[in-house]
Structure 1
Amino acid sequence: MDGRRNHLLKIYITLLAVMVIWGLNVSIVKLLVEYLPPVTIQALRVMTAGFVVFLILSFMKLLRLPTKRESVFIVGGSLLNVVGHHFFMAIGLEITTAANGGLILGLGPLLSAFLATVILRQVPSVLRSVGFLLGTIGITITVLAGEGGIAGIGVGDLYMFLAIFTQALSFIIISKIAKTLDPRLLTGYMLVIGSVILLVIGTQMEPGGFAQFDDAPGYVWAAFFISAVLATAVGHMTYNHMIGKVGVAETAIFLNLPTLFSLLGAAVILGEELLPAHFIGFIFIVSGVLLGSGAAEELIRRRRRRIKTRQEG
């Protein structure tokens, strides 16, 4: 029993570390797009992460070419999960706060569950419906947190919502191919293919953008590699691996934490002012994710099964 507890403790500590890095990554990316052309630097950041993933997978002997069917899904996932998500995040964080951006990105699990419900024509349970409502209230409070109220809703907040929307939509595509292609290898293919497309877009939108790289201080480049290697490459590979260790429901609970750490990062790293509305929005969003993503329902079902097993035993 003690061995199992220690094993689970190591898994949870690892997941916690990933969540901290993901939360702080919002502030890191905002720092990058303030100093460097946003779309171009996002493309290079994601491309670096993709190469790191392939390097790790080569040591693990997990590399293989995709089939024709898998290639179609890889391209679709790349367009949504990489090109759409990182493009909108780059230009969104350039003109909104990291606090708002982090809270909006925290809607990911909830939005994924909502899209799955709509696309697959499922009737949501009462708990999920309440979760969708709480998430909507939370995001409304967040974007109204600025000084201007409704008039102060920024285009940056809209771009951040589009960033998480395209990523959530991509999970529908990814779920169809992850059964035959290792999610870690799928991640590598999407990162490299998507970053190449994103780089082409960046060079068209930001001509001469590479000339700005010479002016960036050393700590910006340190932030670049921390974001690319730790947050995007190692972080996503580790999280996908942990899903197989403890299950979707348990890992989904941890997805609430980056939202909190993104708020703390915005205050500590960037010196942004955190308003009471940000924390109120955080509470609603976390509650919405727990209920709307199905994580709470799954944990309740598992608890009932364990109780039933004990009673029957």
Structure 2
Amino acid sequence: MNAAPRDRQIGFLCLGVTAAGWALNWPLIKLLLQQWPPLFARGLAGVCASLILGLIAFGSRQSLKIPREAVPRLLFASFTNVFAWMGFGTIAMKFVTVGEGALIIYTMPIWAMLFALPFLHQRPTIRDVAALVLGVAGVALLLGANGYAFDGGKLIGIGLSLSCAILFALGNVLNRKPLPMPPLAVVAWQVGLGCLAMLILGILFERPNYAAISPSGIASFVYMTLVPMGVCYLTWFETLRRLPPVSASTGMLLVPVLAVIAAAAILDEPLGLREVAAMTLTLGGVTLALQKT
């Protein structure tokens, strides 16, 4: 077998593992939040995962040293890519369904496209407008199930999910230049710094009951630590190494789709024509946005 087709096959296999691993994490987070508060749960899992990633990087002889000039960018990326992405997204799960949260959060490529207009001086095109319209229409369709009659909790969840997507997109646009560090070391430091801040805030303000976790909660916690923040980062790097960036990014649209299906199976969340139509519209807009990157 030629090297190129084999690389693509392995790349798509790694992409599938990454998407499935990250997707299943959404309903398991929802289960874990029934026992532990969000910042503490996600922060503790992330700190543990960062130590594991750091050990893997050290074992593969990747330098964990942070160049002095990279410190401000690393801290900013830790806020946008971890603290906002994981922290806000996890808190949002207390107020919205997995389908609502995942679909809003995965509009991030649309916001990145919009941020590129002022920061990268890119003029909007018909494709840009179509992507925005499709994305907003899909989210509006999903959230309009009850005639847009939102209580305070739902509004908080929507706001956090939207903030998560927007801040992550802003970080991607402003941090387009890679940090001068090995990729695994970058992830280990970002996850460690962002999740350590979550953990400290969780201990101080959420006052978790450490003994409240059940065996199913422990299983969810172990999964969240090892798979989405461990195995999936490794398979994602392998995906990026073997597939074109647009193919890899577009393939990640499987995550919200699989998350909604998993939430329907595990949490008995709704999955009907409205949800399917909303995903089709929103992810259609996201696909258009990704094709430009």
Normalised by the length of structure 2, the TM-score is 0.92
- Point out the more displaced range, 93-102 or 235-244: 235-244
Does 2:257 match 1:256? no
CA-to-aligned-CA distance 1:163-198 (integer Å, 9 cap, x gap)? 2222222223432343x2223211111111111111
Equivalent residue runs for 1:142-291 within 5 Å: 142-145=142-145, 147=146, 149-152=147-150, 154-155=154-155, 156-178=157-179, 180-207=180-207, 209=208, 212-291=209-288
Asked if 2 retains the 8 angstrom alpha-carbon contact of 1:112 and 1:169, the reply is yes
Equivalent residue runs for 1:89-108 within 5 Å: 89-108=89-108
State the number of aligned residues: 290
Asked if 2 retains the 8 angstrom alpha-carbon contact of 1:139 and 1:281, the reply is yes
Asked if 1 retains the 8 angstrom alpha-carbon contact of 2:107 and 2:286, the reply is yes
Cα RMSD (Å): 1.8
Equivalent residue runs for 1:37-56 within 5 Å: 37-56=37-56
Stretches of structure 1 lacking an aligned partner (at least 5 in a row): 299-313
Residue of structure 2 equivalent to 1:110:
110
Change (3 A) 1:53 1:174: farther
Distance in 2 separating the partners of 1:238 and 1:251 = 11
Q: What secondary structure is seen at the aligned counterpart in 2 of 1:94?
A: coil
Distance in 2 separating the partners of 1:51 and 1:134 = 40
Q: What secondary structure is seen at the aligned counterpart in 2 of 1:151?
A: coil
Change (3 A) 1:77 1:3: closer
CA-to-aligned-CA distance 1:88-117 (integer Å, 9 cap, x gap)? 112210111111112112212332232223
Distance in 1 separating the partners of 2:28 and 2:118 = 34
Asked if 2 retains the 8 angstrom alpha-carbon contact of 1:73 and 1:177, the reply is no
Select the structure with the greater relative contact order (CA < 8 A; seq sep ≥ 6).
Answer: 2
Q: Structure 1 residue 130: deviation in Å?
A: 1.2
Distance in 2 separating the partners of 1:217 and 1:240 = 33
Q: What secondary structure is seen at the aligned counterpart in 2 of 1:239?
A: helix
Stretches of structure 2 lacking an aligned partner (at least 5 in a row): none
Q: What secondary structure is seen at the aligned counterpart in 2 of 1:222?
A: helix
Change (3 A) 1:63 1:234: farther
Distance in 1 separating the partners of 2:237 and 2:124 = 26
Distance in 2 separating the partners of 1:116 and 1:46 = 30
CA-to-aligned-CA distance 1:245-266 (integer Å, 9 cap, x gap)? 2221110111110011011011
Normalised by the length of structure 1, the TM-score is 0.86
CA-to-aligned-CA distance 1:8-66 (integer Å, 9 cap, x gap)? 11210110111011111111111111211111111111111211211111111112311
Distance in 1 separating the partners of 2:2 and 2:238 = 23
Change (3 A) 1:113 1:228: farther
Change (3 A) 1:114 1:236: farther
Q: Structure 1 residue 3: deviation in Å?
A: 4.7
Q: Structure 1 residue 160: deviation in Å?
A: 1.3
CA-to-aligned-CA distance 1:117-165 (integer Å, 9 cap, x gap)? 33222113322321122111112112223x2x21137221221111222
